[in-house]
């Protein structure tokens, strides 16, 4: 579901129906951050959680239920060495891509919740046809997206030593 629709539904439930349990707009306290954070993180979170689940659950259940390894390793070290490292690569990939897509979702979420930020500035600049501000914002989001992907690629070498950086 789109983040802006979820944001509007969260405002309807928590700010209108529940008589102002959480604020619908603005910034200033942690209470103001709850609804935008939920609306922004709801879309990529199932994808991030599912990225490591299929391989990890089968491998870890086999590892923990298996008898001790012949070389004397405990099952926890087997779990860390084999299951966790294999499950970490897809998680890192999907988490990095999700972070990049959350940047684009933040533009709309900031507008829905009247949260002051770069996304709301870009929407106001588009309404006012302020092209230099739009160009700078798109360039900045592009640089951040490239840096996140570079960090994901460098993190591969930390998670899996078989990945070579050279």
For the cut 80, the answer to whether the pLDDT of residue 56 exceeds it is no
The model's pTM: 0.65
Contact 82, 62 (CB under 8 A): no
pLDDT of residue 137 exceeding 60, the answer is: yes
Dist. CA 78–CA 98, nearest whole Å: 30
The pLDDT value recorded for residue 58 is 44
CB atoms within 10 A of CB 157: 13
Report pLDDT for 41. 82
Confidence of residue 60 (pLDDT cuts 50, 70, 90): very low
Structure confidence by residue, pLDDT tens digits, 77-134: 666 666 776 777 787 888 888 887 788 788 888 888 888 888 889 999 999 999 999 9
Phi-psi bin for 15: left (phi > 0), alpha (psi -120 to 50), beta?
alpha
């Amino acid at each position: 579901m789109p983040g802006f629709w979820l944001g509007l539904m969260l405002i309807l439930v928590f700010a209108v129906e529940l008589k102002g349990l959480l604020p619908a707009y603005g910034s200033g306290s942690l209470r103001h951050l709850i609804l935008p954070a939920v609306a922004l993180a709801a879309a990529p979170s199932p994808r991030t959680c599912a990225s490591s689940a299929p391989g990890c659950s089968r491998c870890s259940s086999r590892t923990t239920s298996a008898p001790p390894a012949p070389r004397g390793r405990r099952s926890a070290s087997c779990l860390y060495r084999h299951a966790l490292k294999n499950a970490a690569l897809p998680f890192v990939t999907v988490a990095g891509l999700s972070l990049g897509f959350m940047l684009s979702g933040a533009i709309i979420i900031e507008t829905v919740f009247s949260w002051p930020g770069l996304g709301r500035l870009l929407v106001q600049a588009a309404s006012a046809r302020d092209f230099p501000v739009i160009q700078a914002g798109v360039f900045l989001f592009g640089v951040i997206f490239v840096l996140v992907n570079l960090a994901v690629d460098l993190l591969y070498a930390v998670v899996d030593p078989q990945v070579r950086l050279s």
